Amino acid sequence: MKLNLGCNSRILKGYTNIDFGDYPGVDIKTDVSKLGMIKDETVDVIRASHILEHFRYNDTKRVLDEWHRVLKPGGLLYLSVPSWERAVEIYMKAGLQEWLVYFLYGDQTEKGNYHYTVYDFPRLCRVAGLSGFKDISEIAEIPDSLPNEANCLISTVDHKSISLNAVCVRG
């Protein structure tokens, strides 16, 4: 089984698409931090593109523990979050552009569209490690990404990715 968490309208074939929003194609409508309907150790892959930052930092371990619970040993968690490091680089080159504020804090136009925390790679490794993930590495983009999905967007300022993308192995 493969899960596409916080999918919004980005529906992927071959995945169980999960979101709390009422979007066409969502298979399970629920909070992605509460996956009680999924049995322990039954999931091969979790895809969480630009969703972890929507949880308060104090809730991050609980969320990652839940994702760890449903993954099989050796299962893969693909994470993408706004990159704090890249945001600072872009700011230093181009100033505080409106899209950069939205990128860091969410556009705040509807429920759940708020970002509560930021990550760089060491911080992401630390929080994922606390939940039992290992062999955490940066990747260019998450597999099966759709065109213009946040995890593969490129900055017009310096033509580099704006996201921090990683793969974590369930220990």
Q: What is the pTM of this model?
A: 0.93
163-170 and 43-49: which strand pairing? unpaired
> What is the residue range of 102's domain?
2-170
Task: Evaluate if residue 65 carries a pLDDT over 90.
Answer: yes
Task: Evaluate if residue 90 carries a pLDDT over 80.
Answer: yes
**Strand residues in 6-127 grouped as ranges (E):** 16-19, 28-29, 43-49, 71-82
How do residues 137-157 score in pLDDT, each as one tens digit? 999 999 999 988 888 888 999
Phi, psi of 32 (to 5 degrees): -70, -5
Q: Which residues contact 84 (CB under 8 A, 6 or more apart)?
A: 104, 118, 119, 120, 123, 164
For residue 118, the domain's CATH number is: 3.40.50.150
Report the number of distinct structural domains present in the chain.
1
